[in-house]
Amino acid sequence: MTRDQALFQFLLRLGDSTLILSHRVSEWCGHAPVIEEDIALANTALDLIGQTQFWLELAGEVEGKGRSADDLAYLRDVWDFRNLLLVERPNGDFGKTLMRQFLFDAFQSLMLGKLLKSSDKRVADIAEKASKEVAYHVERSAGTVVGLGDGTPQSHTRMQAALDDLYPYVGEMFVSDAVDAVLIKVGIAPDPASLRADWDALVGRVMQDATLDIPKDAFTHKGGKTGTHTEHLGYILADMQFLQRAYPGAEW
Amino acid sequence: MYAQMVKTAGTGVKTPDEMSDQERAFQARIDAGEKIEPRDWMPDDYRATLIRQIGQHAHSEIVGQLPEGNWITRAPTLERKAILLAKVQDEAGHGLYLYSACETLGVSRDELIEMLHAGKMKYSSIFNYPTLNWADIGAVGWLVDGAAIMNQVQLQKTSYGPYARAMVRICKEESFHQRQGYSIMMKMAFGNAAQKAMAQDALNRLWFPSLMMFGPPDKDSVHSTQSMAWRIKINTNDELRQRFVDQTMPQMKYLGLTCPDANVKWNEDKGGYDYSDPDWDEFFAVLRGNGPCNKDRMAARVKAWEDGEWVRDGLMAHAHKNKIKNAAQVAAE
């Protein structure tokens, strides 16, 4: 695998994860528990779309086949997507949506922190822009997880159920493979496995404040980063890609 | 116009002789163009009318998220998706300012929301129409936000200070919304045959409902006189509707779309367009709950509120625990 082939895959992992999570978060539009949360969810979805545009545009450039960010988002099928399985999980209730957000934000903030020092300046520049937004995302999602975990008995029970349900999708974030090996070697990206200890520490502190128990022996589902997804992704793409597929070549 | 058919409280305009000293002084301030502020004395009917109008306006912003939110996941490019998300986020923000403006009159946001859900307050009739194709998102920005701006520009001069100030901020954002709507319409109207057909279809369905946004004709508008005397309302329904048609027709011509009203025609003598009234029976049917989406819209809002109860309760309980913890800490120090 060449450096650019590996970088292309890595950029899809970043951009597809923000794209699919943005899609899920935007499904909340107009349905949140309180107006402030409607605004915050739309704002998060908007930030994630902005990051997607940067990552996928660079992915197209690195691939060198003339594909734009829109081409990559709208004209690939399920098996070409490289997002984490975690972000395609259905929203569930508001607590589950915010738990998924926090587990992802914690990872993304650590990943972007390392990418600030990437040997590829284009990657470092995007990480710089995104890390400011993600610092706010992780603060907000952590605060909400704590508020609901340590709220009423009902909110506590729901948040514990959300954590138990989503935890098997956490491990995939830290799996290293041949793509990572190439990028570690040239100093473009960190070994995902090396982020685990800091992630455990951050998530551990938040779950303690939230009075939630981290599951002990969670199984790790994986496959998203290499293109084997859950059944949910096909429906997300059917929704997202409808106009581009139904009216090929149109300008919007 | 996001507030329509607002019932003015009271028994109609009083003559100076019929007014109390306080009422006369209040009317003199309004006539002098002064702003009324939350701590100022105001007639009970002025307060009640404002609560209805601002509350209805706030509800419209919140319910209005639904028809546009309907297309966020299906927006055709990343840029269009980002713009639509930003726009819908603005609408929720407008709802927030307006509920806050309404709270200065002594009613809480929760009370207003409960009145909406109980069918005791309304939102604009326009949001009971569906968004069926992508061009609807363009037409909503162009026509619906265009009609809203027509009303809101004059409301920047309304007599109640907090409402007028909220309008100044909202108007700035709405003009961006209208431009993004028109930009979608241009892409569609100048696009391929299918896109042109979508643009025409959207216009056909949304033209008359947009005209309805200004409320019934002046001759049937029973509530206007007192509201205008109080400067809660500055222009009449027909004045604003005429202005909207005059502004919109040249834009429609530029797009090369056909107005669904065959009678629309430039009238040199009046310096404006002649146009047909919308079907007022349909308008009243929609207000009574029989529009294509009334039940779905209300069901979605009520579900969001009920499903969110545990979240609101949980966050409140946590805030309360923190308060006790902090107080104990201060006491220990």
Buried b (16+ CB within 10 A) or exposed e, A63-91: beeebbbbebbbebebeebbbbbbbbbee
Residue by residue, DSSP assigns B234-263 as -S-HHHHHHHHHHHHHHHHHHHTPPPS-TT
Query: Quick one: which of B259, B296, B263, B294 has its CA closest to B277?
Result: B263
How do residues B277-318 score in pLDDT, each as one tens digit?
A: 999 999 999 999 999 999 999 999 999 999 999 999 999 999
Amino acid at A61: E
User: Do A34 and B88 count as a contact with CB atoms less than 8 A apart?
Assistant: no
For tokens 């992630």, the residue is A199
Maximal C-alpha separation, chain B:
82
Q: Which domains does chain A have, with CATH numbers?
A: 3-246 (1.20.1260.10)
Mean pLDDT, chain A, rounded, equals 97
CB A34 within 8 A of CB B311: yes
A136, with CB counted inside 10 A (0-12, 13-18, 19+), is middle
Query: Quick one: which of B147, B211, B203, B205 has its CA closest to B175?
Result: B147
User: Do A252 and B307 count as a contact with CB atoms less than 8 A apart?
Assistant: no
CB A229 within 8 A of CB A223: yes
pTM of the model: 0.96
**B1, pLDDT greater than 80:** no
Q: Is B222 on the interface with A (CB under 8 A)?
A: no
> How far B188 CA sits from the closest chain A CA (Å)?
7
Q: Output the six-digit token pair for A250.
A: 């149109």
User: Do B85 and A49 count as a contact with CB atoms less than 8 A apart?
Assistant: yes
- C-alpha span between B220 and B223 (Å, rounded): 9
How do residues A192-215 score in pLDDT, each as one tens digit?
A: 999 999 999 999 999 999 999 999
What number of other Cβ atoms are within 10 A of residue B287's Cβ? 16
Strand partners, B274: B265
Average of per-residue pLDDT across B244-248: 98
Sorted by sequence, the CB contacts under 8 Å of residue B100 that are 6+ apart come out as B109, B162, B166
User: Do A151 and B313 count as a contact with CB atoms less than 8 A apart?
Assistant: yes
CB B86 within 8 A of CB A49: no
CB A12 within 8 A of CB A81: yes
How much is the pLDDT for A10? 98
HSE of B59 in the Cβ direction (CA atoms, 13 Å)? 31
User: Do A148 and B191 count as a contact with CB atoms less than 8 A apart?
Assistant: no
> How far B321 CA sits from the closest chain A CA (Å)?
8
Position B3 confidence tier, pLDDT thresholds 50, 70, 90: confident
How much is the pLDDT for B333? 80
How much is the pLDDT for B225? 85
How do residues B172-198 score in pLDDT, each as one tens digit?
A: 888 889 999 999 999 999 999 999 999
Q: Output the six-digit token pair for B168.
A: 């100044």
How do residues A96-122 score in pLDDT, each as one tens digit?
A: 999 999 999 999 999 999 999 999 999
How much is the pLDDT for A125? 98
> How far B278 CA sits from the closest chain A CA (Å)?
29
Instruction: Give the SS3 label for residue B271.
Output: coil
**B221, pLDDT greater than 90:** no
